């Protein structure tokens, strides 16, 4: 159950609602949603108690929503949400593509990739400054130096930057340099990190965990939402199954399922979802046709020598071909492809 207070309600009215519910053993958590206080109850009380709450001064409406996903559910908001990242809007009419290297390796590499993806039409630049790797001996990213390089390329290309944050202490410093914070698959249920990102209010990209159900994924988003951060975009990136032909199994059915259950935007990462560069283009086009709001694509101008996930990275030429094909597929489903500022203004 969620109790929405009127926009100009005073603290005494909020306290009265909290106290009234408390007398019936119902605990609440307060957050601010769309400029008004929302009291999220752990459970829905009896109908007669709900009627008493609705009659209290300052109460605008009471929604009875069950399950773990409340603020992210269609019951809470029937219309699709949009998330603004710089000048880019995710979840609106335009299909958004974020592209760049899995990991920032050096300034020259990032400059080459950023220029290539911008000229091919990407509207956001992705790149990992901090990398969670399965092996402690694998390249872990450049850290703060990588953030500075990303900021330089944002200034050069005009592309907003999305990069991963690994722990709560990193949220503030990374948010100062990046336009969007990515929570990776391995951290989908890192609850202290989810809460801290929620408190930051910064646009957030939440990847689905390697073995997470859709309900668990939406519940993870709820941790961010209940801290007052409604700027959440979900990212399907493949799950582990028994099938060894691909690195992961890209679950495109999840796009349609989430769109039915939640108002949050959904994008797809076909690079991590398959782990094979030759599979990225067909799965990316399928994602566009399936109703995703955008893509997250791994691109490297020297893909064979990439320090991270070389097998899945597209070359600049392959990415350009993907963008051309995506435009044609999106035309068939009456959706425009968002345009890079580099194409509009020239670099």
Q: What is the pLDDT of residues 42-95, one digit of tens each?
A: 777 788 888 888 899 999 988 888 777 888 998 888 899 999 999 999 999 999
pLDDT at 224 over 90: yes
CATH number of 83-345: 3.20.20.70
Predicted pLDDT of residue 309: 82
Predicted pLDDT of residue 300: 94
Would you say domain 2-63 falls under CATH 1.10.150.170?
no
67 CB-near residues (< 8 Å, 6+ apart): 73, 215
pLDDT at 179 over 80: yes
Domain ranges of the chain: 2-63, 83-345
pLDDT at 344 over 70: no
Lowest mean per-residue pLDDT among 151-155, 268-272, 305-309, 319-323? 305-309
Residue with more model confidence, 319 or 64? 319
**What is the pLDDT confidence band of residue 119, given thresholds at 50, 70 and 90?**
very high
Residue with more model confidence, 132 or 206? 206
Tell me the C-alpha distance between 90 and 112, whole Å: 25
Predicted pLDDT of residue 135: 83
Predicted pLDDT of residue 175: 96
pTM reported for the whole predicted model: 0.89
Q: What is the mean pLDDT of residues 21-50?
A: 83
Residue with more model confidence, 347 or 93? 93
**What is the pLDDT confidence band of residue 165, given thresholds at 50, 70 and 90?**
very high
Average pLDDT, the chain: 92
C-alpha radius of gyration, the chain, whole number: 21
**What is the pLDDT confidence band of residue 346, given thresholds at 50, 70 and 90?**
low
């Amino acid at each position: 159950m969620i109790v929405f207070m009127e926009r100009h309600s005073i603290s005494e009215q909020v306290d009265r609602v909290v106290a009234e519910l408390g007398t019936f053993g119902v605990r609440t958590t307060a957050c601010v949603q769309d400029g008004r206080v929302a009291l999220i109850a752990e459970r829905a009380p009896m109908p007669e108690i709900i009627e008493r709450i609705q009659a209290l001064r300052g109460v605008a409406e009471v929604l009875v929503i069950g399950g773990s996903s409340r603020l992210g559910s269609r019951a809470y908001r029937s219309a699709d949400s949009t998330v603004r990242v710089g000048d880019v809007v995710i979840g609106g009419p335009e299909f958004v593509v974020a592209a760049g290297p899995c990991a920032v390796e050096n300034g020259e590499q990032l400059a080459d990739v950023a220029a290539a993806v911008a000229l091919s039409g990407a509207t956001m630049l992705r790149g990992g400054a901090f990398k969670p790797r399965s092996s402690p001996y694998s390249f872990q990213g450049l850290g703060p130096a990588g953030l500075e390089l990303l900021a330089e390329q944002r200034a050069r290309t005009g592309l907003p930057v999305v990069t991963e944050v690994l722990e709560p202490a990193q949220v503030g410093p990374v948010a100062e340099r990046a336009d969007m914070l990515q929570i990776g698959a391995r951290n989908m249920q890192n609850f202290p990190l989810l809460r801290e990102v929620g408190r930051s209010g910064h646009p957030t990209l939440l990847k689905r965990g390697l073995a997470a159900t859709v309900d668990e994924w939406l519940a993870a988003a709820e941790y961010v939402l209940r801290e007052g951060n409604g700027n959440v975009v979900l990212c399907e990136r493949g799950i582990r199954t028994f099938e060894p032909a691909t690195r992961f199994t890209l679950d495109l059915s999840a796009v349609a399922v989430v769109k039915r259950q939640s108002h949050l935007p959904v994008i797809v990462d076909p690079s991590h979802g398959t782990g094979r560069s030759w599979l990225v283009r067909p799965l990316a086009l399928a994602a566009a046709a399936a109703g995703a709001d955008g893509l997250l694509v791994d691109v490297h101008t020297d893909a064979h020598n990439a320090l991270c996930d070389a097998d899945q990275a597209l070359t600049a030429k392959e990415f350009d071909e993907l963008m051309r094909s995506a435009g044609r597929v999106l035309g068939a489903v009456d959706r425009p492809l968002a345009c890079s500022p580099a194409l509009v203004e020239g670099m």
